[in-house]
Amino acid sequence: MKEEKREKDMKRGYGVKGVVFDAVSVIVSSITLLAIAFSFCVRMVGVKGESMENTLFDGDWLLVTPYYTEPERGDIVICTKDTAAQGAIVKRVVALGGDEVLITYDDQVYVNGVLQNEPYAQQGSYYGTRGLTGAPFTVPEGCVFLMGDNRGNSMDSRFVGVGDIETGHLLGKVQMRVGQNSDVYYNLPDED
């Protein structure tokens, strides 16, 4: 009985060569699907620096969704622009185009007159070089105002070299990170 089955399988091409061909075909298809997914659906990005501590840490890996066009306050994003920061940067969206922002001397952030609840922010005294501290300003339409969570150690929109970021320079939204301590962070909207 087994020999008859083996003969039928051999005639159909399911011998050792057929099994190997099927296995290789499955592996190649899987790799192709992963390559397509990582090219068009998600990307892995590494974190360099301390500007987003204690949310993201140097050496963390982020899962980022590209084609990000509708930013919301509190989103953590990856952007690129010719800035003093050199290359892509990861920051939090603090304000959107048309929002009025006030950063006080004690690092409190007001958007449209409302004090922002930012439990993730580490306060610092890195006021920036745009003369923004203590005077309200309006974010231009089509732009976002970004800040790092580690306010005392972040080159962000408060600085002339970075400034307001046009939404077209946003490369994607951080969806998840696998941290150095094997914890997982999901990008959630601002807490009220």
In a domain, 183, yes or no: no
Which listed residue (30, 39, 48, 51) is catalytic?
Answer: 51
Active-site residue, from 11, 30, 91, 154: 91
Tell whether 161 is covered by a domain: yes
Residues 16 and 107 in one domain: no
Residue 188 lies in a domain: no
CATH no. for residue 85? 2.10.109.10
The reply to whether 91 belongs to the active site is yes
Chain-wide mean pLDDT for the chain? 78
11 lies in a domain? yes
Decide if 157 is inside a domain.
Answer: yes
Q: Give residue-wise pLDDT tens across range 42-52.
A: 777 778 888 88
* Residue 8 belongs to domain spanning: 2-40
Q: Which two tokens stand for residue 40?
A: 């068009």
Active site residue 51: yes
pLDDT at site 139: 94
Q: What is the pTM of this model?
A: 0.71
